[in-house]
Structure 1
Amino acid sequence: MNRICILGGSGFVGHRLVSVLSKRGYPCRLLSRHPQRHAELKVYPGVELVKVSQFDSPSLQQHFAGCQSIINLIGILNETKKASFMSTHVALVDQIVEAAIKSGATRLLHMSALHADAGKGSSEYLRSKGEGENRAHTHGGSALTVTSFRPSVIFGPGDGLFNRFASLLSLSPGLFPLASPDSRFAPVYVGDVAEAFARALEDSSTAGAHYDLCGPEVYSLKELVRYCASQLGIHRLIVPLNPSLSRLQARLLGLLPGKPFTMDNYLSLQTDSVCTNNGLLTLGITPQSIQSHVPRYLADQGYRKRFDRYRKVVE
């Protein structure tokens, strides 16, 4: 059976993908700096957690040994002192491709981003994602068959979309100022993204392809926040911010610990995250809607209970 080595397998998409691949009988090797933090992944048959201190080509080549396929899910939304967009989305891809070829792997599945474009991306995030995707395909050459995936914003249990807005809405005191309220998205379900990876792995016709991945419906950011509030059963006055105030909010929040919203995030929002051709349909996958999943996992997280406790304290 094809052994798969996964980078970023302990993340949001990685958890779901490991589950999907394990059920299909694939042995998976997950590389992580802190494998002890992800012991729950060991419940899946055939999963091997490996500690990696450095993600350079020699180290990766050693860990790729015996794996026919490599999956790269690593990405960041904001830069830190330890990780820049270029080092994470471009330089690391070069290291992965070099190590994969030298180790004898023949397949690479690469996570990019919708509308990633090295030359025309509206943000450094999108430009670096585009450059990394280009390098994965071109540097792989004839030795490495590459398929890349470009999802819109991904939702599902544990996501950084609805869960984040749920927390912010629960804590906000009546008014909710929202930057770039008219930016559009086609949220795609994490299970559909994982299924796309699995099907591509099993279909040689996907070699060299770039798949845009979107959900079945398009929403503005304002509509997504309103939907989240309605599922929580709470009322907030959403205040749409114009471009000037949106940029000001990005500059201010970008100074806070954790950088909840940055100028680069704002620039990414200037490009609508919607598909022209949905790769899920090409792969035979019917996209699932937010209505099919979001109400259940927001309820399971207990945001409504936290809001009720907060309201009692205020009253």
Structure 2
Amino acid sequence: MRTKTICILGGAGFVGQHLVRRLGEAGWHCRVPTRRPHRHRDLKLTRHLSLLPVSSLDRATLAELFAGCDAVVNLVGILNEDGSSTFERAHVELVRELTAAATEAGVSRLIQMSALNADAIGGGSAYLRSKGAGEDLAHQAEGLQVTSVRPSVIFGRGDSFFNRFASLLELAPGVFPLACPDARFAPVWVGDVCEAIARALDDPRTIGRRYDLCGPRTFRLEELVEQTASWIGKRCLLIGLNDRASRWQANLFERLPGKPFTMDNYWSMQTPSICGEHNGLLELGIHPSDIETIVPTYLR
């Protein structure tokens, strides 16, 4: 039986590293392009993986990467803009280039990583509007069989959610001012997201579908941060900021190195990141994992 080959854009990132392991175990040969292969030497230990150095992801380069592939997964995404790295470029222009390159290379299957609440017109932030525009472009591409996954905040070993709050709490001098404390999330485990992608690849019934992915419970942000403090054994007084103070913090923090919190993050958090009536994990036969069973294992 011929080994199937898949190119994973963003495969060296948080979700990507988990996905290449899951697909490698299933027998897929994974191509992972990266600008800095020396930073990801540990990935070379993954079964059926080729780490490919690239300087850009223009259409010609993408067509070369996709040649001989059976499928493509696009995980590329940014939470904040920085210089030349813009939402338009990362979430929209790249999708336009990769769909054209996939057609040129004869690849017909694409899994597009989007985001819960992504909407090109009605999205509450520039991030969500650009994610929605990219998702729409993927589904509208002629000759491509597309499935998109739309997760809430993703957690797991190496995540930038619980790990970031844990680091900030460790530095806090006993008091922690928290913006948007009432923002709601349904955190979804990275392993479940990767399982959803793996199952979608093997199931033609998922073609053309857009799956919202959520964990089993909904939390306020303040509850998640309180739980994080408990898991790392940090005693800290959380002070939930009102709307005006949250905006003030966003305006200040987006000027700091690394942009820990921006106005666009603030606007994204005004829309609850939770699933409606349909959780795509359940539709795909996956029982969502709870934060209680996963997060303590890597924070402690």
- TM-score w.r.t. structure 1 length? 0.93
Contact 2:156 2:189 in 1 (8 A): yes
Q: Which amino acid aligns with 1:201?
A: L
2:16 to 8, 14, 27: 14
**What is the CA–CA distance in structure 1 between the aligned matches of 2:235 and 2:30, rounded to whole Å?**
45
Deviation track 1:77-97 (CA, whole Å, cap 9, x = no partner) reads 000102100010000000010
Q: Which runs of 5+ in 1 are unaligned?
A: 300-315
How far apart are 1:2 and its partner, in Å? 1.8
Q: Which residue of 2 aligns with 1:223?
A: 223
SS in structure 2 opposite 1:230?
A: helix
SS in structure 1 opposite 2:177?
A: strand
Q: Which residue of 1 aligns with 2:292?
A: 291
Residue correspondences, number? 297
SS in structure 2 opposite 1:293?
A: helix
Q: Which runs of 5+ in 2 are unaligned?
A: none
**What is the CA–CA distance in structure 1 between the aligned matches of 2:75 and 2:234, rounded to whole Å?**
35
Q: Which residue of 2 aligns with 1:302?
A: none
Q: Which amino acid aligns with 1:259?
A: K
**What is the CA–CA distance in structure 1 between the aligned matches of 2:74 and 2:89, rounded to whole Å?**
14
SS in structure 2 opposite 1:77?
A: coil
**What is the CA–CA distance in structure 2 between the aligned matches of 1:7 and 1:290, rounded to whole Å?**
27
Deviation track 1:4-60 (CA, whole Å, cap 9, x = no partner) reads 001000000001000000000110110111112111111112100111111111111
Deviation track 1:96-153 (CA, whole Å, cap 9, x = no partner) reads 10000100001000000001001111100000000000000002x2x11000000000
Q: Which residue of 2 aligns with 1:61?
A: 63
**What is the CA–CA distance in structure 1 between the aligned matches of 2:66 and 2:36, rounded to whole Å?**
18
How far apart are 1:69 and its partner, in Å? 0.2
**What is the CA–CA distance in structure 1 between the aligned matches of 2:51 and 2:236, rounded to whole Å?**
43
Contact 2:184 2:273 in 1 (8 A): yes
Q: Which residue of 1 aligns with 2:242?
A: 242
**What is the CA–CA distance in structure 2 between the aligned matches of 1:265 and 1:250, rounded to whole Å?**
8
1:112 to 111, 114, 122: 114
How far apart are 1:265 and its partner, in Å? 0.4
Matches within 5 A, 1:119-268: 119-139=121-141, 141=142, 143-268=143-268
- Give identity over the alignment, percent: 56
1:77 to 76, 79, 84: 79
**What is the CA–CA distance in structure 2 between the aligned matches of 1:198 and 1:164, rounded to whole Å?**
28
Residue 269 in structure 1 maps to residue 287 in structure 2? no
**What is the CA–CA distance in structure 2 between the aligned matches of 1:145 and 1:52, rounded to whole Å?**
26
Q: What value does the CA root-mean-square deviation take over the aligned residues?
A: 0.6
- TM-score w.r.t. structure 2 length? 0.98
**What is the CA–CA distance in structure 1 between the aligned matches of 2:37 and 2:273, rounded to whole Å?**
33
Q: Which amino acid aligns with 2:27?
A: G
Q: Which runs of 4+ in 1 moved over 2 A?
A: none
Q: Which amino acid aligns with 1:99?
A: A
**What is the CA–CA distance in structure 1 between the aligned matches of 2:36 and 2:286, rounded to whole Å?**
34
**What is the CA–CA distance in structure 1 between the aligned matches of 2:23 and 2:220, rounded to whole Å?**
33
**What is the CA–CA distance in structure 1 between the aligned matches of 2:53 and 2:84, rounded to whole Å?**
19
Q: Which residue of 2 aligns with 1:305?
A: none
